[in-house]
Chains A and B, each alone.
Chain A
């Protein structure tokens, strides 16, 4: 069964304390791995797409990487405004579906 698992469920960091969020996936014929950020009461905001193992994408303090079994979201020197829930999603392998399979998310809190 296709599955996406994120860890940890929650993460508390001090401002400036770098860390990584993990996303493990078992999806047949992965066509893309996506990272989103979700703030309370809002919809997911697109961050990155990764298509193949070894690929990396960066945006400000965030860097996403992909291997054959997992993806990492590295947060360098986080700020309080980085506090949010980070969602990982895998695009199913079937060519006629846009179905994203989401993990449960990691809720990040950055304290000043």
Chain B
């Protein structure tokens, strides 16, 4: 069984560019979650999605960040006009109807 797949594993962007992070959940999982891990900090919840719906986005910054989980294809976390402070590891997790959440190996985003 394939686990949660995230790509790219590493992403480098210049300030002002857009970053797109992709997440394919485990087979049979319809719930997707995004977390951010800043250097020297713990994992922080960003957003929880089910197919075509955002259920909880209480951890998403109000501007520049958006997430989607379309009917077909992976979940996308999009960061517009990136700034240095966006440098972090972004983790995606998925679950079936009930917990637990299973995590991918993350995307390391570096902003030049």
The residues of A with any CB-CB pair to B shorter than 8 Å are 32, 34, 36, 41-46, 49, 87, 89, 91, 96-105
| Chain B CB within 10 A, most for which of A36, A87, A105 | A36
CB neighbours (8 Å) of A104 from chain B are 41-42
Cross-interface CB contact of A99 among B42, B58, B103, B104, cutoff 8 Å: B58
CB neighbours (8 Å) of A45 from chain B are 103
**Chain B residues touching A, majority SS:** strand
| Number of A-B residue pairs with CB-CB distance less than 8 Å in the complex they form | 65
Cross-interface CB contact of B106 among A43, A87, A98, cutoff 8 Å: A43
Closest A residue by C-beta to B50: A98
Q: Give, as a whole number of angstroms, the nearest-CB distance from B38 to chain A.
A: 12
- List 22 A–B pairs whose Cβ atoms lie within 8 Å, in order of A's numbering: A32-B99, A34-B100, A43-B91, A43-B105, A44-B103, A45-B103, A46-B102, A46-B103, A49-B100, A87-B43, A96-B55, A96-B56, A97-B56, A97-B58, A98-B55, A98-B101, A99-B59, A100-B33, A100-B35, A101-B45, A102-B35, A102-B42
- The 8 A-B residue pairs with the shortest CB-CB distance in the complex, in nearest-first order: A43-B103, A97-B56, A102-B43, A98-B48, A99-B45, A43-B105, A104-B42, A44-B103
B99 touches A91 (CB 8 A): yes
Q: Give, as a whole number of angstroms, the nearest-CB distance from B69 to chain A.
A: 13
B31 within 8 A of A: yes
B55 touches A43 (CB 8 A): no
B56 touches A99 (CB 8 A): yes
